[in-house]
Structure 1
Amino acid sequence: MSVSAQQVKELRDATGVGMMDCKEALKEADGDFDEAVSILRKKGQEVASDRAEQEADEGLVVTALSDDQRTGVIVEINCETDFVARNDDFQEFANTVAEQTLEKEPDDLEELKALPYEDDVTIEDELVALTGRIGEKLTIRRFDVLESDEGQIISYVHPGSKLGVLVEAQGDGDVQEAGRDVAMQVAALEPIAVTRGEVPEEVKEEEREVAREAAINEGKPEHVIDNIVEGKLERFFEDHVLLEQAFVKDSSVSVKEMLDEAGLSVKRFVRYALGD
């Protein structure tokens, strides 16, 4: 059966699939538009199955904020190559997923994938279809939702969209300016907690053990080893605890001192680096 160029164009506009694939699907479906769409979706599932064992460690980290900035989401979506990460369709998909996540606030990835993407198409449906169109393994790896009762959520995505941060900040100062400074601090220096009290005990003990072993190997006297260990733990806090880090824009002050001056406090943060 022959199909017209107009039929092929309409199917391409509806699915985003290449002209030749649309033409073949219409021929296979004897010109039935809905059946052709179904055929293309099945082919997308076949591609997704074929690519399942491939590594997908490229992609995008995207964020979305509510109008009042009380809620923010961060999502990591992966593909196989950086070329696809720059693809307009892939970027549109990632941003739509973030917006739907912001609107619906799912509890887990399965619930996220079941959210509507467009009309009666779910995010999972579109993920499979996009996999078929692009020809690479695509996955939604993780997401977080942050909500603030008294403050605001600040978003920062580093150019290239491979690193993103959400920060919850509150206070009487300029939340936007200082909050963005903190988000950039988190992106650049990768703290593990806001305060030292939030650092897990197992992490502290591991740092103590490493410092103790190093001191013993260096032949330090037994009576000074405990002081050496605690001194190194203090330096660990200065390097890895957000409020104790030197402020990246002015290393003469700590992040806490900068925030105190700005009249703000930071409650928590989420940092996504692609592939972490």
Structure 2
Amino acid sequence: MTLEINSALVKELRQKTGAGMMNCKKALQETNGDFDEAIKALRQKGLASADKKVDRKAIEGIVSSYIHTGGKIGVLVEVNCETDFVARHTDFQDFVKNLAMQIAASPEVIYISINDIPEEIFLAEKEVELKKDDLSNKSDEIKEKIILGRVEKTLKTLSLLNQPFVRDPNITVEELIKGQISTFGENIKISRFTRYMLGN
């Protein structure tokens, strides 16, 4: 059973660390509501203060590629940072290579973020869920919550940032990026990607 966390505590942790609301809530749940331990957990994951940098302009960066063994899948990805200094850093370039490999390993992923998914896809998925028989005996309020939960779960499979990182499934790609933001002290964002599959 998931521990219910007070929203005021989540807000306080966010103000203290600069990490996102969902990451703060998750940290508090994982530490059974222990505020200091939650701060430590966020710092260890590199999430504290990373969110403060996400609005800064990132116009430098690199385009990197990954060709899967056998040459049947290829990926091009553009990842931006704030300075050419970071763009030329070996660790940054390795990180971008890992992102390209992640995209190659995630055939269902079409969008960078769940926020990029067009509303018509959301509505179409909602329509599919509305027609499922297992919801017929539920109240409208419960039905709506279940439907939205299922739709969100489906849409997350299409979003790169929501994928478990292939080299460490305990973190998402979004958490990986925030860790890099914390490491380099610059905003880092995935700008675009293209996946090529032989014959498609």
Relative to the length of structure 2, the TM-score reads 0.58
* Counterparts of residues 39-54 of structure 1 (less than 5 Å): none
Q: Which of the pair has the greater relative contact order for Cα pairs under 8 Å at 6+ separation? A: 2
Q: 1:235 aligns with which of 153, 174, 187?
A: 153
- 1:254 aligned onto 2:172: yes
Q: 1:153 aligns with which of 51, 63, 80?
A: 63
For residue 37 of structure 2, what is the aligned residue in structure 1? none
For residue 106 of structure 2, what is the aligned residue in structure 1? 189
For residue 25 of structure 2, what is the aligned residue in structure 1? none
DSSP-derived class of the 2:189 partner:
strand
Amino acid at match of 1:268: R
Deviation of 1:252 (Å): 1.1
Task: Point out the structure with max Rg over C-alpha.
Answer: 1
Structure with greater strand share of residues: 1
Q: 1:270 aligns with which of 175, 194, 198?
A: 194
Q: Which runs of 5+ in 2 are unaligned?
A: 1-57, 182-187
Deviation of 1:275 (Å): 2.4
Residue-pair matches, total:
128
Q: 2:75 aligns with which of 147, 156, 165?
A: 165
1:49-82 per-residue CA deviation (whole Å, 9 max, x = no partner) reads xxxxxxxxxxxxxxxxxxxxxxxxxxxxxxxxxx
Amino acid at match of 1:231: G
Is contact 2:135-2:143 (8 Å) kept? Answer: no
Deviation of 1:222 (Å): 3.8
1:165-191 per-residue CA deviation (whole Å, 9 max, x = no partner) reads 111112247331111111111111121
Q: 1:199 aligns with which of 117, 131, 137?
A: 117
* Counterparts of residues 75-90 of structure 1 (less than 5 Å): none
Amino acid at match of 1:269: F
1:210-237 per-residue CA deviation (whole Å, 9 max, x = no partner) reads 12212x4553414222111110122123
Amino acid at match of 2:144: D
Residues 1:267 and 1:231: Cα distance change in structure 2 (over 3 Å): same
Residues 1:154 and 1:220: Cα distance change in structure 2 (over 3 Å): farther
Is contact 2:163-2:172 (8 Å) kept? Answer: yes
Q: Distance in 2 between matches of 1:272 and 1:208?
A: 30
Is contact 1:153-1:167 (8 Å) kept? Answer: yes
Q: Distance in 1 between matches of 2:119 and 2:198?
A: 27
DSSP-derived class of the 1:240 partner:
coil
Residues 1:202 and 1:188: Cα distance change in structure 2 (over 3 Å): same
1:105-128 per-residue CA deviation (whole Å, 9 max, x = no partner) reads xxxxxxxxxxxxxxxxxxxxxxxx
For residue 100 of structure 1, what is the aligned residue in structure 2? none
Q: Which runs of 5+ in 1 are unaligned?
A: 1-147
Q: Distance in 1 between matches of 2:128 and 2:114?
A: 18
Q: Distance in 1 between matches of 2:121 and 2:177?
A: 26
CA-based RMSD: 2.0
Residues 1:163 and 1:204: Cα distance change in structure 2 (over 3 Å): same
1:23-71 per-residue CA deviation (whole Å, 9 max, x = no partner) reads xxxxxxxxxxxxxxxxxxxxxxxxxxxxxxxxxxxxxxxxxxxxxxxxx
Relative to the length of structure 1, the TM-score reads 0.43
DSSP-derived class of the 2:74 partner:
strand
Deviation of 1:273 (Å): 1.3
Is contact 2:78-2:192 (8 Å) kept? Answer: yes
Deviation of 1:149 (Å): 5.4
